[in-house]
Amino acid sequence: MIELSLVGIGTGNPDHLTHQGVAALNAADVILIPRKGDNKADLAELREALCAAVVSNPTTRIVHFDMPVRDSADANPAHYAAAVNRWHDAIAEIWHAKIRAHVPHEGKLALLVWGDPSLYDSTLRIAQRLKLRLALQVSVVPGITALQALTGAHAIPLNDINAPVTITTGRRLREHGWPASADTVAVMLDGECSFRHIKPAGVRIWWGAYLGMPEQLLLSGPLADVAPHIVQQRQTARAAHGWIMDTYLLRRAT
């Protein structure tokens, strides 16, 4: 049996890692770390720095793998889903090759997952593909989600009293608008600043990037006033670092 632990690491700050997560990393024979090209080398380096800070087991090995590039997909939802599924298949093939090479029969592996594997993360779906081919036991160590880091950084609650919250993606916000029956909308996976596609009247936004890291950026206020500043800050930060991870909360006045 091969044991795979998916360890939520929050937003990359070692202080966000739980004691359970530290234990899982130190119990691993191999920790898999993805590389996403030169423009995103910081992401691999952050994972490596986190491991250097918390892993004391001298037998734990770091193994890198190169992430495949996802096919471009047009606005057709069916095409988008197919492109994502092909990408997940390709990642699963790479994981399979690394597992067979470094833990061929039995042992423990760990993967560091930004945020938490439960929320808009595909790691569990990719691992499910491997369970069809390997004697694989998957466990999850929950981490701090981007939404927890965002609301904590702004010192705000996620919801109003007795009010619903909808968690969605930038793509769905652009295509379908404000979700029905939601006073508060949390938006993830948005590289297009999709808040520009909704009517700003009466809406406030709380935005954050690089949450919990030294580079952290925070902006908040009425959407009509703050939106242009977020777009500019995002462009500047992405150009400076080569990558950006951000999320935001939208709330209508009640």
| 233 and 112 both lie in a single domain | no
Domain of residue 48: give its range.
2-141
Q: Are residues 12 and 79 in the same domain?
A: yes
pLDDT of residue 241: 87
Does residue 93 sit in the same domain as residue 153?
no
- pTM (predicted TM-score): 0.87
Shared domain check, 94 and 156: no
Q: Verify that 181 and 75 share a domain, yes or no.
A: no
Q: Are residues 45 and 163 in the same domain?
A: no
pLDDT at res. 43: 78
Q: Are strands 184-188 and 107-113 parallel, antiparallel or unpaired?
A: unpaired
What is the residue-level pLDDT of the chain in tens, covering all 254 positions?
Answer: 899 999 999 887 888 899 999 999 999 999 999 987 766 667 788 899 999 999 999 999 999 999 998 876 655 666 788 888 999 999 999 999 999 999 988 899 999 998 899 988 899 999 999 988 888 999 999 999 999 999 999 999 999 988 889 999 999 999 999 998 889 999 999 999 999 999 999 999 999 999 998 899 999 999 999 999 999 999 999 999 888 999 999 999 86
Write the CATH number for 84. 3.40.1010.10
What pLDDT is stored for residue 73 in this prediction? 60
> In the listed set 141, 163, 187, which residue is the last one of a domain according to the structure?
141
Domain of residue 165, CATH code: 3.30.950.10
Same domain, 132 and 25: yes
**pLDDT for 35:** 87
What per-residue confidence (pLDDT) applies to 41? Answer: 64
Domain count across the chain: 2
47 and 154 in a single domain? The answer is no
Residue 187's identity, in one-letter code, is V
173 and 101 together in one domain: no
Q: Can you give the pLDDT at residue 80?
A: 81
Nearest Cα to 7, choosing from 146, 145, 141, 148?
141
Confidence (pLDDT) at 46: 86
pLDDT at 40: 62
Are 209 and 240 contained in the same domain?
yes
Query: Domain boundary at 141, 174, 190, which?
Result: 141
Per-residue pLDDT, 201: 95
Last-in-domain residue among 117, 141, 165: 141
Regarding whether 160 and 134 lie in a shared domain, the answer is no
- Tell whether 114 and 165 lie within a shared domain: no
